Amino acid sequence: MNMKRNKKTIGISCFVLLLLVGIIYGYMHSINIYRLEVTRIEGSGYGYKIYERERLIIVQPFIPVVSGKRPFQSVQDAQCIGNLVLERMKAGKEFAISKTDLDSLGIVY
């Protein structure tokens, strides 16, 4: 009888452990579904791309909200704005960039 109880306890413990591992894996995987890639724009500067898992969802070769087709002047500028867009997307907020955003982050345009 004691042996049956031990087997049952071990079985339930293994099930709970596997369930917890699955939940943690699912949570961690869902956090990192978006990724940012800074790209070099031929001849003049930088832009960025955002992927949802492996699917390309945003291509931003130029500074948003600025008239004309001006790329970012540095990798850091493109990375900074791309990260802002990612943060807003993950939070479920409107992710459009404004001139106020550019100014507050010191992006030259």
Exposure string of 75-87, with b = 16+ CB inside 10 Å and e = fewer, is eebbbbbbebbbe
DSSP 72: B
Per residue in 2-56, pLDDT (tens digit) is: 777 777 777 676 666 666 666 666 655 556 789 999 999 988 899 999 999 999 9
Record the pTM. 0.71
CA quadruple 95, 101, 107, 108: dihedral positive or negative?
positive
Q: Which of 78, 95, 75 is nearest to 86 (CA)?
A: 95
What is the C-alpha separation between 64 and 29, in angstroms, rounded? Answer: 29
Check residue 5 and give its pLDDT: 74
